[in-house]
Amino acid sequence: MRPPHDIEAAENPVPQWQAGLAVALIDERTVLMHGEHRRVVLRGHEVAAVAALIDGRRNAEQIASALPPPFSRLEVDYVLQMLQQGGHLAPPANAPAAQAVAASPIVALNAIGIAAGPLKLALEAAGLRLASPGAGAPAFDVLACADLLDPRVAEQLAVARVLGRPVLLARPAGAQPTIGPWIDASAGPCADCLLHAVAWNRPAQRFVQQRLGRPFTMPAPADEATVATCAAWLAQAARQAAAGDRQLRSAMLAFDPRSLQSIRHLVRQRPQCPTCGQPGWMAAQAERPVPLQAQPARERTDGGHRTRTPEETLQALRPLVSPLTGAVQYLHPMPGRHTGRRQVFVSGYPVCPQTWPADNGFDKICAGKGRTAAQAQASALCEAIERASGVWQGDEAMRIATRRELGEVAIGFDTLQNFSAQQFAQRERINAATQDRRRQVPLPFDDDAAVAWTPAWPLAGGERHWVPLAYCYAETPAAFGADYGIHNPNGSAAGNVFEEAVLQGLLELIERDATAIWWYQRARRPAIDLDGIDDAFVQSLHADYAQTGWQVQVLDLTHDLGIPVYAAVAHHTEADRHAIGFGCHLQGSIALSRALTELNQLMDSRDDAPPPWDRRLLPEALFLEGHGTVTAALPRLSGGNDLLEDIDVCRQRLAGAGLSALVVNKTRPDFGLSVAQVIVPGLRHFWPRFGPGRLYDVPAALGWQPCAADDAGLNPAPLFL
């Protein structure tokens, strides 16, 4: 039973305005309430009269007594109730909610590798009680650490999961202190989702840990002022969490003490997470056929035929960009190449290599281009997600077997890579001259060697095939067959839907096949009459290059498949320097635009910029100049209304040349973008691969040259872009 004075206080509370709220009586009928986050205007004679007497000393009875007739206590109570419900008044000192706050929630503080003293003081100053014997069960844990990848952090998070206790995680020190995420049993990313994202963005730390076979943690230096600031920041987050605020449920807040800025970093839930998801997701996905469906193309511009606009793609994928928790670490204009007319953006993703890299192999750079900034950003971002999706993580579908055991459905490295007998014979000499594995020659494939294979499905339907896992995924362990070949991203592409990725992969394969035949055969090809192109962007870009001393020609490389492929070749006559870009599409206008925007991407205008190929091996290159002129309208092989129709056009053209396509589904469900690798055995890459087949047969059949060059007569300068 409550004492009489408590009963009286509850019945006659002393109203007070909410903290941080300034109240002004404008006139006898108008009250203005102004705070940092809101402005409220209330009107009414009764409201104004009562508001004028709220001073933190008078209770409801005293306010009613101070008002002239005909005001009554009932009217005063009504106005106070309205103000309370509107959030304008602070909770009464004796209200049940206030009593709960006064009870101070209990939290358990656990500090790993960091001083607990400043954190303890800050939490207590925020009105929170620290767990102690006899104090009761903690409402949640505050886990503060010097390094989120310290094994003790994972251990404590596992304990909290077993106990069913939420955790507010923090790294309140270092050059970029972080608060969050809040981890509990509700829907959202679990602790292992977070730690996977953090580890993904610490490739060097992971590499050292794997090499040493023991923990390798990062220090968290900080001066006293930073420590105190971060402790107060953490205490505020803990107080808000205690009050039910869950804004950090799927986010980490980073603070930069130098700029005094904070940035929110998304923590993604991984559908394939071993703890909160389905660890067999990737393998099960790859084991399923890939039936394609009709997909209307909403976007039919320079970016190709897409189901979303570049702006929509950016909006959907930008949360994946974060140096702390993202799949992609950055996205910004490329210095030196991004100008007003030349929209070029750069992105990057991290990689933990299997062996010590010859250079900085931990950071992979991608680039994107387009007519607009949005197109270039979407291009760079999708490129990085595509490449990141092709990095081996260990959960991919895999089968260890020999090609002889698998039979005809297994397609080995020899068929995919197209090295010649002469290249294999000169393997040791070639490999001794370079550390770049793309330029080296592997061992000839052994049908009796047990290697790792992954499923590949025929685009036209049919039974499952197998291709080497190491061909499809970068950083596949050497024991899985790396002696016989390397990862080759040719034909890999990303899309808003899987059909979009497949189409882009097909176009990339066709583009590179035509490029390889033209480049290594040094075939003379006609140039497109750019003056006759009715496109303001093409004309302005052409003029822009000319103003800086670069002459641009676009060569028509379209070959037996009949799908437009163009090469934009820029030549600075005074400096005798070259730059080059390629484009392919079912619509010639888009192929032309792609070639020019890729030229923007690859153009390095610095005086000391390295040439795109070894000039010592290619002192003269007449094939880089147009041989005749194409003046007819650019071809259009598809209306671009549906992606499946575009895919069928490509598939039919391949079938007419005796070729068929396979598809590997490399989509990572936590990245939110479809990724496919399309493989067409027989098509060539522009890397130096000189085995028999199309490299020699096509130019001879098309009459590009009187006689196609043989292995020894090919262009000696390899092409790497």
Which residues does residue 347 pair with via DSSP β-bridges, in sequence order? Answer: 331, 366
- How would you write 278-314 as a 3-class SS string? CCCHHHHHHHCCCCCCCCECCEEECCEEECCCHHHHH
Pair 456, 464: CB distance under 8 Å: yes
Using the predicted structure, report yes or no on whether residue 327 has a pLDDT greater than 50.
yes
CA-to-CA dists, residue 682 to 348, 399, 661, 689, angstroms: 31, 24, 10, 11
pLDDT single digits (tens) 63-114 = 989 988 888 888 888 888 889 888 899 887 654 444 444 467 899 999 999 9
As a whole number of angstroms, the distance between CA 21 and CA 18 comes to 6
As a whole number of angstroms, the distance between CA 521 and CA 713 comes to 8
Which residues does residue 363 pair with via DSSP β-bridges, in sequence order? Answer: 350
pLDDT single digits (tens) 144-166 = 999 999 999 999 999 999 999 99
pLDDT single digits (tens) 18-74 = 888 899 999 989 999 888 778 889 998 889 999 999 998 999 889 989 988 888 888
Q: Which helix (H) or strand (E) holds 264?
A: strand 261-266
- pLDDT at site 20: 85
- pLDDT at site 632: 83
Chain centre distance of CA 119: 34
CA-to-CA dists, residue 399 to 72, 396, 455, 466, 501, angstroms: 84, 10, 9, 9, 25
Pair 505, 456: CB distance under 8 Å: no
CA-to-CA dists, residue 496 to 81, 590, 640, angstroms: 52, 19, 16
Residue 395: pLDDT band (50, 70, 90) is: very high
Chain centre distance of CA 398: 25
The total number of residues written for the chain in this structure = 721
Tokens of 482: 């790396």
Pair 31, 24: CB distance under 8 Å: yes
Other Cβ atoms closer than 10 A to 107: 24
Q: For all residues of the chain together, what is the average pLDDT?
A: 91
pLDDT single digits (tens) 349-380 = 999 998 886 666 899 999 999 999 999 999 99
Residue 15: pLDDT band (50, 70, 90) is: very high
pLDDT single digits (tens) 670-687 = 999 999 999 999 999 999
DSSP string of 152-170, one letter each residue: HHHHHHHHHHHHT--EEEE
Three-state SS for 17?
strand
Three-state SS for 107?
strand
Q: Tell me what the mean pLDDT of segment 286-312 comes to.
A: 87
As a whole number of angstroms, the distance between CA 380 and CA 287 comes to 30
Q: Tell me what the mean pLDDT of segment 612-636 comes to.
A: 90
Interaxial angle between packed helices 588-602 and 536-547, expressed in degrees from 0 to 180 and rounded to the nearest 10 = 30
What is the number of helices (H) and of strands (E) in the chain? 23, 26
As a whole number of angstroms, the distance between CA 634 and CA 601 comes to 23
Residues contacting 357, CB < 8 A, separation 6+: none
Using the predicted structure, report yes or no on whether residue 6 has a pLDDT greater than 70.
no
Pair 21, 15: CB distance under 8 Å: no
Q: Which of 242, 292, 248, 208 is nearest to 105 (CA)?
A: 242
Chain centre distance of CA 552: 34
Provide the H-helix boundaries in 318-397: 373-389
Interaxial angle between packed helices 117-125 and 224-242, expressed in degrees from 0 to 180 and rounded to the nearest 10 = 40
- Select the more confidently predicted residue: 638 or 387: 387
Using the predicted structure, report yes or no on whether residue 668 has a pLDDT greater than 80.
yes
- Select the more confidently predicted residue: 414 or 361: 414
Interaxial angle between packed helices 373-389 and 310-317, expressed in degrees from 0 to 180 and rounded to the nearest 10 = 50
Which residues does residue 590 pair with via DSSP β-bridges, in sequence order? Answer: none
- pLDDT at site 4: 43
Q: Which of 535, 624, 547, 642 is nearest to 582 (CA)?
A: 624
As a whole number of angstroms, the distance between CA 444 and CA 439 comes to 15
Residue 257: pLDDT band (50, 70, 90) is: confident
Query: Which range, 96-100, 337-341, 590-594, has the best average confidence (pLDDT)?
Result: 590-594
- pLDDT at site 220: 78
Using the predicted structure, report yes or no on whether residue 444 has a pLDDT greater than 80.
yes
- Select the more confidently predicted residue: 657 or 39: 657
Q: Which of 62, 61, 24, 68 is nearest to 46 (CA)?
A: 68
As a whole number of angstroms, the distance between CA 675 and CA 273 comes to 19
pLDDT single digits (tens) 261-276 = 889 999 999 999 999 9
Three-state SS for 556?
strand
Instruction: Detail the DSSP E strand segments found in 609-652.
Output: 629-630
- pLDDT at site 2: 43
Residues contacting 335, CB < 8 A, separation 6+: none
Residue 709: pLDDT band (50, 70, 90) is: confident
CA dihedral 221, 223, 224, 228 (to 10 degrees): -70
pLDDT single digits (tens) 176-218 = 899 999 999 998 999 999 999 999 999 999 999 888 888 888 8
- pLDDT at site 214: 87
Using the predicted structure, report yes or no on whether residue 340 has a pLDDT greater than 60.
yes
